[in-house]
Amino acid sequence: MPRWMKITSFIVFVAAIGAGGWSWKKLNTARSDVADDKVVLADITSPDPEAVKRGEYVMRTADCAACHTADKGVFAGAYRISTPFGDLLSSNITPDRESGIGKMTARDFFNAVRQGQGSKGLLYPAMPFTAYAKLTDQDMQDLWAYMATVKPVANKVDENAGMPFPFNVRLVMAGWDVLFFDNSGFSAENHLSALESRGKYLVDAGGHCSACHSPRNSLGAEIDSAYLQGGRLGDWYAPDLTSSPHAGLGARSAAEITEYLKTGEAGPVATGPMAEAIEHSLQYMTDEDLQAIATYLKSLPAATDEKPPMIAATTPAMQRGALRYEVNCAACHGVAGEGMGGMTAAFAGNHTLQSDDATNLIHVMLVGGRAASTHAKITGAGMPSFAWKMDDRQIAETLDYIRNSWGNSAAPVEAAEVGRLRESLRAQSPLPQH
């Protein structure tokens, strides 16, 4: 054999070993060996009460109920999750033996939650195992104890029935895992305080905040270099959580962020997926943990300090927007954008309004919205739809006025973007105007 062929063969051999080792590192489930692999969930009858209590708290921090609850009951699955690759239905995670996870052992459960390897094959990252991978062994053991107390519900779900070929072939996720899955636990960073480290754990592990608040690449993987800098979530937008002074959390104090996470209202009012997260998860967390989250988020460097120029109030479009705001919006949100504390959002100085991405504002203008209903603030105010009353241009002009008044400044909203969302949301067409 010629020398060049020997060298080439050796290089290919070494590369193959390296690729195999890399794949094994990503797919290896040895971390789950700490869990029992004998007793199935449905056979557990007397879990430790203290572990159950701690496990319920872990469940709250991980927001399990929000995605696994639909019309058949809590944790019975069939909640629809839309992705760029098709629609998924969440699985039944009650202890039912036939349609739920009743036949799983603790080790099976650990493999599914932390490593995306379920009883029906590899899981899609819509289930945020990429974040849950950071959950500690203790939190996982406690969560397992809590799941043993959940009432079994018979509800068979075909989770990926809405996924077209080839995305409905779960084996393709092996390649995705090898490329993008970080199969390692949580590690504290030396420069963080104890409070910030606890906040990072809650944000990055159970809270899986980056699953929504970080942008994703064309294959659906989070872009690590843009961590928590905002990301599209179907027909919603999860805003920048860094210390960006304009559209991020830079102008918000840790106390204001804590209040928002606890109640859903602190100037900005939570709607959409964030309202669900607060209702199902965040409002149940201790004040200390919410403060830890807020303190950690405040420690993040700003993604950007750029502030777009304010649209001049004298333009004809802004004047039309001002009149439309006075007629349709001022009664609830105030003549000066001051809002109604605890009920409707204040617009003046509201960082969530000033994002480059106006998706959320267009969304609620077209189909309405509802604020979070929490123990602290029981009445979640409603926002009516204006799709029937305003055309795409009129909605864009109204939002331009809101986003560029009372000290706010933001890029213009395009009427074409309103039209795109109107079609996507199947919102009503405006009535004829005479």
- What whole-number distance in Å separates Cα of residue 399 and Cα of residue 353? 9
Judged by DSSP in three states, 283 sits in: helix
Kindly tell me if the per-residue pLDDT of 296 is higher than 90.
yes
From 108-117, 381-390, 415-424, the region with the lowest mean pLDDT: 381-390
Kindly tell me if the per-residue pLDDT of 202 is higher than 50.
yes
Q: 362 and 413 in contact (C-beta within 8 Å)?
A: yes
Task: Tell me which of 1.20.120, 1.10.760, 3.40.50, 2.60.40 is the CATH number of domain 194-299.
Answer: 1.10.760
What is residue 373's predicted lDDT score, i.e. its pLDDT? 81
CB atoms inside a 10 Å sphere around CB 349: 16
Quickly count helices (H) and strands (E) in the chain: 17, 8
**Average confidence (pLDDT) over 286-306:** 94
More confident residue, 165 or 144: 144
What values do phi and psi take at 31, rounded to 5? -60, -25
For residue 108, what are the contacts with CB-CB under 8 A and spacing of at least 6? 37, 101, 119
Q: Which residues lie across from 83 on neighbouring strands?
A: 86
Binding-site annotation: residue ranges for heme c: 64, 67-68, 209, 212-213, 329, 332-333
Instruction: Express each pLDDT in 24-58 by its tens digit.
Output: 578 899 999 999 999 999 999 999 999 999 999 99
**Average confidence (pLDDT) over 243-264:** 92
CB atoms inside a 10 Å sphere around CB 309: 9
Q: How long a stretch of residues is the chain?
A: 434
- What whole-number distance in Å separates Cα of residue 433 and Cα of residue 115? 56
Put simply, whether the predicted model's pTM sits higher than 0.85 gets the answer yes
- What whole-number distance in Å separates Cα of residue 397 and Cα of residue 405? 12
- What whole-number distance in Å separates Cα of residue 290 and Cα of residue 297? 11
Do 194-299 and 316-424 show the same overall fold?
Answer: yes
Please choose, from the candidates 177, 101, 183, the residue with its C-alpha nearest in 3D space to the C-alpha of residue 144: 101
Residue 227 burial (C-beta neighbours within 10 Å; 0-12, 13-18, 19+): middle
Task: Tell me which of 1.10.760.10, 1.10.300.10, 2.130.10.10, 1.10.8.60 is the CATH number of domain 316-424.
Answer: 1.10.760.10
* pLDDT band at residue 306 using 50, 70 and 90 as cut-offs: confident
Please choose, from the candidates 334, 347, 320, the residue with its C-alpha nearest in 3D space to the C-alpha of residue 403: 347
- What whole-number distance in Å separates Cα of residue 37 and Cα of residue 335? 63
What tokens does 37 get? 């692999």
What tokens does 404 get? 């560029």
Please choose, from the candidates 126, 116, 149, 143, the residue with its C-alpha nearest in 3D space to the C-alpha of residue 67: 126
- What whole-number distance in Å separates Cα of residue 338 and Cα of residue 345? 8
Judged by DSSP in three states, 257 sits in: helix
Q: 157 and 90 in contact (C-beta within 8 Å)?
A: yes
What tokens does 135 get? 């959950």
Residue ranges per domain, the chain?
A: 32-180, 194-299, 316-424
Binding-site annotation: residue ranges: 64, 67-68, 209, 212-213, 329, 332-333
